[in-house]
Structure 1
Amino acid sequence: MPTFSNSIAPADYLILAGFFGLMLVIGFYFAGRMRDLGDYFSGGRRVPWWLAGTSYYMSSFSAFAFVAYSALAYEHGWVAVTLYWVSVPAALVSVALVAARWRRAATTSPVEFLEERYGRFMRQSLAWLGIPVKIIDDGLKLFAIGLLVSTGLGIRHPHALAWGILGSGLIMLLYTLMGGLWAVLVTDFIQFLVMIAAVLVLFPLALSRVGGLGAFVDGSPDGFFRLTSAEFGPGYIVAFLFIMIFSYSTQWQLVQRFYIVPRDADARRVGYLVAALNLVTPPLFFAPAMMARQFLPGVDDPANIYALLCRELLPVGMTGLIVAAMFAATMSMLSSDYNAVAAVLTNDIYRRLIAPAASGRVLVRVGRLTTLIAGLLSLAVAFMIVASEGESGLFDRMVSLFSLFLPPIAIPMLAGLLTRRVSNAGAVLGLAAGILVGLAAYIIRTTLAAPPDADPATFTAAQRLAALLRGNQVMTALTASTALLGLGVGSWLRPDPAAQRARTDAFFTRLTEPEPAAPPPAATGPADFSPLPFIALVTAALGALLLLVVLLFVSLEQGLPSLFVGAGMLLLGLVLWMLDRRKEKNRHALP
């Protein structure tokens, strides 16, 4: 077996540079094709289901999965896969409950339906509350990417973290700003291919290092393949399932994939594809970390296990590709978030409150401006975290504050799609009560907490309450139950007036009436073209780049796995191109 370099080589940097360059090419390609708000934020609602589904999957994935779940797999074994598999029933629940309803309820942004369902106040409230939550979340993701740059690439510069955040953040912002949703979708698909290619190389290399499947099973600790553990038991998994259902059914960047496809059946196919990918990919992603227990024992910080695996096993060229894959995972989430936040800013705030008669071209320009604003604010949050290097608690406080807002925002949205029994007053009370109780609990747990070295047996009643509220699961349950109680009490005490009930009835009629048998009328702009040939060209170009770099800079023995991957991507690009040509030929042959 050849010995691979355990550091980042110049060839790997060339692969990374080429990868980022192709992402920008995609943005430039779609920049001139955005004619109106529908093109920029919903792809003209003609996006193929397989492209929307792959983008949904990538938008729910991030470098966090590589780091946190791999660390969990290294320490606890198969339970990491079990926890990720929770997303499978969550995706199926979203298909059963809301996929088709989202496609009918929303057109350009995920909160526009709230005005028809509840009233103007709820639409504006969830828009103004959701935007800062998303921006804080995106700042945390940018910080994670910066850590990958500064540690994964082995850069020693004192400002490597800040430069990594700035560089990757600006690249994502640029292609999202230029090409709108189509650029996000196509880059997501390319990034998916890169991530899968890199992991498919790492898995067999790790399996070979431990001596095969039998040796892997025999050499693992007792209980390493159990579905649960003492720390992550059935109760934890059930609670996590409810959190994932909320996320998969209401997160702006995810549900956007339901309403950009042409038909209800396509929206359901999006969810089924996500469920299938979430079932198949976790063992491939996290099994190498489990195998590392045998050839990389005693790692001090398991959060570094994926980076250590790459340095230990991957050949030159593939190291750059898997670092690109880690970038890709988080870049997909961020670019989707930028587009979704900009959709709300443009459609639900600018067009609704400032310029209702704005033309399509003006709205596209405003959409680009709001994308820029969302991206720059996220960068500012990330730099705030960098500046707080002496305050390790800031990161945790921001994560906790973000978790407080999810249930109170998600529950009224979900209820608005599922039942006509919830009134506008009930939605407002549920939203307000959930947020206020969550903030009160957060203040209690931060101001009344006992000193870190205090004996729990000596805690006062207030300190015991603060300790209980430290668990994010408890906080999530508290805010969710309060929001649900507010929905019920408010709807009972103050039902909607007759005019609002009539609008609600019309809204649910639109959600539930049979779909027309004929397909929707043809769209204009970028929605009436197939993205497949462009995807084929970019895929082939990435494969050709990998082949060229390895042939020029790496010995054949070291570069053989990378050559196979490059050839595979080049061949896949050619196959996709031929499939599109065949489809186009058949379409023209029809009378």
Structure 2
Amino acid sequence: MNEISAFQQITGLAPLDYAILGTALVALFVISYFKGRDEHDTKDYFLGNRKTPVWVATLSFVATEISAMTIVGIPPIGYTENWQYLQFFIGSAAARILIAFFFIPAFYKFSCTTIYEFLKHRFGVETQYAGSAFFFVTRLFASGVRLYAASLAVSVIMGWQLLPTIAFFTAISILFIGFGGIKAVLWTGTFESIVFYIAGGAVAGWLLLHIDGGLSGAWQLASEAGKLSVFKLGWNLNDPNVLWGAVLNGVFGSMASFGTDQELMQRLLTLETRRESQKTLILTIFTSFPLTWLYLGLGTLLFVFYRQNTGLPLPENADKILSHFTVHVLPAGLKGLVLTAVVLASIDSPLSSLSSSFITDIYRPLIKKDGDEKHYLFASRLSVLCFGLLLAVIAWLCASGSGRMLWLAFKINGVTAGSLLGVFLLGLLTARISNKVNVLAMFASACFAGLTLYLSEKGLAPIGWSWIVVIGTVSTFSLAWLLAPLETKFGK
């Protein structure tokens, strides 16, 4: 194409890009102020007094699910691979339906502020403490690496150093979540989802206008290169893209992520009734899938664009393809829009859910049992500050760990999530009465899942890492179910 030389000259940010980002950040704080200024107690702060509209909860859920890891991580999959990632969403959709009809009614039955209160009502406080502890480990590491990935992308686009970028995200998150609580998270999440759609659609439209042949030309070239393949048949347990394995892992992975993780479930607990909460979760099927497909398609369009423009420089690492394209090719305005999407995807952090679980599951019952609501509200805001700083430290460790910390952060979710899902399923699907053995089963299964993951990474176990959640779930459920009669017989 004759525009290559022009593309190569487009670098740096224009005043328009800064204006777009600045406007979005101002809007973020305005929304946070007006929606979160009437926080009187922890019910307001963590549940929004259960008065959230369905459409707000739906879009906020999407904003949390579609994190910066999706914005910057999904396009490289479409660029280097194909669309087989979408198979996972079949299982994810099924998981949302199961959660809506099995998990949510139980949480509303006990009027839970955090979902780990269900474990207390069903089994006992020891299981509640263990569930909350597993959530802290899982969410802190997963969100720390999310913060690192987003900061890395923004530092490339902005030309900033990585550590100041991490500090920038951390400060904004602490300020707006610490002040506004869950209401701020919900309404700003709605704003973020809209920005994600606009940014992805605008970049896709620009690419189609600059690809020879437009949509039909892009489709033909991508099809010839095998980039549009969605389904992959086979029985290889080592391949996470095989259809049946991807669907099954999608079911278990999404049940663990959505049903046993306070970060996402907190949005669903802010609805007034169980039916509204169920409706919200099912609606996310129809809002999350198009967004995932959009950013996966962006990767495919980037493949076609660079295939037709062979003179354009490519990043050393394909994982940076969207950031590289944004910096070196996109014009002013669109560049700021992509930057804004990445920034907003990073700011919607899990600070509110971490705070709610700490105050409800740990602080109230163990540290300060007789405080008033004013004290607990202050403690909630203080815990947001502490968790924000801890996330920044984990992100910094990812940046300085030469990949080792990054690997740990990615994999630990699979190791711990299965234990959480297993004990929740035990409480929901059986009449077993156990408590301390649940804790034993959770830790033993996490160790077993970790060992399996290690052997898989070393090539000593014929199974892919994506099966770790399934293994952890089945082993926790089975072990706790088998040992429950012993606890009943010999006493608690």
Are 2:420 and 2:473, in contact at CA under 8 Å, matched by a contact in 1? no
Determine the C-alpha separation between the residues in 2 that align with 1:138 and 1:222. 35
Partner of 2:435: 424
How far is 1:25 from its partner? 2.9
Provide the TM-score with structure 2 as the length reference. Answer: 0.88
Superposed, which structure 2 residues align to 1:3-14 within 5 Å?
A: 5-14=10-19
Partner of 2:261: 251
Partner of 1:175: 176
Determine the C-alpha separation between the residues in 2 that align with 1:392 and 1:313. 29
* Structure 1 letter corresponding to 2:147: L
Change (3 A) 1:402 1:87: closer
Determine the C-alpha separation between the residues in 2 that align with 1:24 and 1:228. 43
What are the Cα deviations for residues 334-368 of structure 1, in whole angstroms up to 9, with x where unaligned? 1xx11111011111212112222321111110110
* Structure 1 letter corresponding to 2:300: M
Change (3 A) 1:71 1:116: same
**Unaligned stretches of 5+ in structure 2?**
234-238
How far is 1:15 from its partner? 2.0
Partner of 1:236: 245
Partner of 1:118: 123
Instruction: Select the residue among 478, 485, 489 that pairs with 2:478.
Output: 485
Are 1:152 and 1:323, in contact at CA under 8 Å, matched by a contact in 2? yes
Determine the C-alpha separation between the residues in 2 that align with 1:302 and 1:47. 40
Are 1:59 and 1:254, in contact at CA under 8 Å, matched by a contact in 2? yes
Are 1:173 and 1:375, in contact at CA under 8 Å, matched by a contact in 2? yes
How far is 1:106 from its partner? 4.1
Partner of 1:35: 40
* Structure 1 letter corresponding to 2:272: P
Other structure's SS at 2:263 match: helix
How far is 1:31 from its partner? 4.9
What are the Cα deviations for residues 449-500 of structure 1, in whole angstroms up to 9, with x where unaligned? 5xxxxxxxxxxxxxx53x557x4234334323321221221124334899x9
Of 391-400 and 421-430, deviating more is: 421-430
Are 1:150 and 1:164, in contact at CA under 8 Å, matched by a contact in 2? yes
Q: Is 1:282 the counterpart of 2:287 in the alignment?
A: no
* Structure 1 letter corresponding to 2:446: I
Change (3 A) 1:410 1:330: farther
Change (3 A) 1:497 1:285: same
Change (3 A) 1:173 1:354: same
Change (3 A) 1:183 1:445: same
How far is 1:127 from its partner? 1.9
Q: Is 1:353 the counterpart of 2:369 in the alignment?
A: no
Of 118-127 and 350-359, deviating more is: 350-359
Determine the C-alpha separation between the residues in 2 that align with 1:285 and 1:199. 6
Partner of 1:225: 228
How far is 1:392 from its partner? 2.3
Change (3 A) 1:436 1:171: same
What are the Cα deviations for residues 542-567 of structure 1, in whole angstroms up to 9, with x where unaligned? xxxxxxxxxxxxxxxxxxxxxxxxxx
Moved over 6 A (4+): 1-4, 443-446
Partner of 1:302: 318
Of 39-48 and 434-443, deviating more is: 434-443
Partner of 1:327: 343
**Unaligned stretches of 5+ in structure 1?**
450-463, 501-591
Of 356-365 and 77-86, deviating more is: 77-86
Are 1:89 and 1:275, in contact at CA under 8 Å, matched by a contact in 2? no
Bigger Rg, structure 1 or 2: 1
Determine the C-alpha separation between the residues in 2 that align with 1:226 and 1:438. 31
Provide the TM-score with structure 1 as the length reference. Answer: 0.74
Other structure's SS at 2:116 match: coil
RMSD: 2.7
Partner of 1:581: none
Q: Is 1:264 the counterpart of 2:287 in the alignment?
A: no
User: Percent identity among equivalent residues?
Assistant: 21
Structure with bigger RCO (C-alpha 8 Å, 6+ apart): 2
